[in-house]
Amino acid sequence: MQSFLRLLLIGVGAFALAAPAASQRADDQILPKSAELQRQARELVAAGKFEQAEDALETALAVDPRNRGAFVDIARVAEKQHLFGKAIRMTNKALMLEPNDPDAIAVQGEAMVEMGAIARAQANLQKLQTICKGGCPQIAQLSGAISRGPTVAAAKASQSTKSN
């Protein structure tokens, strides 16, 4: 009986030690099926099929939850559907995997602009400027969104001021 308990404890201990290592993958080690689903989702987005693209991206994440790019792509789809809170949540998940992901930071900043959180978007811009010392396209992307301001909020405000 004691040997069984020892074996059981050794097995549980080995599993506990192996589990974190197995779940940590570099971007170049994303499962191919997940990457293929992400590629298909991008084609669906280009065709304007946002719900199908989101389904494909969620499946990609079910196949490999470490696919940070799929989280960012879901955030982009959410922005196209004017679901800015969801976009921020998805980029937060990507940033939990890699805190310095320039794409996630930029997409999150754009969603913040659309929600009127300009100060938070500017903090994201400053973070990008720190990360991308030599410059990167995400800086221009977020800087442009901040300069433009919240387009959806502005459209809603102008509609509500109409009189009958």
Cβ pair 39, 69 in contact under 8 A = no
User: What mean pLDDT is predicted for residues 126-144?
Assistant: 92
**Radius of gyration, CA atoms only, the chain:** 21
> Looking at residue 14, what is its pLDDT?
47
Distance, CA of 149 to CA of 52 (rounded, Å): 29
Higher pLDDT, 21 or 45: 45
57, 74 Cβ separation under 8 angstroms: yes
Q: Of 80-84, 121-125, 153-157, give the lowest mean pLDDT range.
A: 153-157
> For the segment 44-98, what is each residue's pLDDT rounded down to a tens digit?
999 999 999 999 999 999 999 999 999 999 999 999 999 999 999 999 999 999 9
CA atoms within 13 A on the CB side of 63: 18
d(CA 91, CA 97) in angstroms, rounded, equals: 10
Percent of the chain with pLDDT over 70: 75
Checking if the pLDDT of 142 tops 80, the result is yes
pLDDT attached to residue 99:
96
Residue count of the chain: 164
- Cα–Cα distances (Å) from 69 to 46, 75, 102, 140, 160, in that order, read 16, 10, 11, 20, 37
What are 5-16's pLDDT values in tens digits?
554 455 545 444
